[in-house]
Amino acid sequence: MTTPEMDNGTTRDDLLQRVALMETMIAEGRKSTAHFGWIFVMWGMIYFVAMGWVVLLPFKEWAWPVCVTVGVLVGIVRVRRKHADGTGENLRSRSIEAVWQAMCVAIILYVIAAGASGHGNQSAYYAAVLFFVGLAHGISARILRWGAQGLVAFLWWGCGIAMFFFRTRNEVLSIFLVAAFFGMILFGLYAMWLERRRAAALVQHHA
């Protein structure tokens, strides 16, 4: 007995193959995100440096434009080197990369405009940055169906909301550093741990 066809001419086997392909692509996308876990750690450190500059150094209005621009340039160089080394890509990994690239461009334009106009010292300014980053995490989590990254997105959004209720300098600084530490550095370290565990499992499998 042959497998009955659907209304659109697609068989049950075709649907199962497509589901299996989607699951494989999702797994590959998560693996790609874990492979670039160092980027999250780097950006978390950049946020710490930018906030430290705002608190301790002169020319505070240029802290974010300079730090974000340097971070983007370093990220572009290292990602290109990773690709040149033969890092695998698929549709989902390219989609994730496009999301974060667009987020970086948006943040660069935003912080430069805010710094040049003198609006870079307001709590709403920092809240917007938190929402930008949370949005990129949220979209990535939806594409990859990754609950851990979804929780990270809600962490960034929650801290962004808190910015509107806690507006003193110390409160804003504390909220932003909490988001950067848990939402970037720890998440990046977690992704790097997953990548190392996967690599170790492959070595044991081929041993």
Q: Is the dihedral of CA 134, 60, 76, 201 positive or negative?
A: negative
Q: Is 4 within the bounds of a domain?
A: no
Specify the number of domains making up the chain. 1
Q: Is 59 within the bounds of a domain?
A: yes
Contacts 24+ apart (CB under 8 A), 19-25: 25/90, 25/91, 25/92
- Rg (alpha carbons) of the chain, rounded to whole number: 20
pTM reported for the whole predicted model: 0.74
Beta-bridge partner residues of 11? 5
Q: Is 7 within the bounds of a domain?
A: no
13-53 pLDDT per residue, tens: 555 555 444 455 444 544 555 566 788 898 899 989 988 89
Q: Is residue 152 pLDDT above 60, yes or no?
A: yes
Amino acid type, 60: K
Q: Is 18 within the bounds of a domain?
A: no
Domain that holds residue 140: 38-206
Token reading at 111: 């912080």
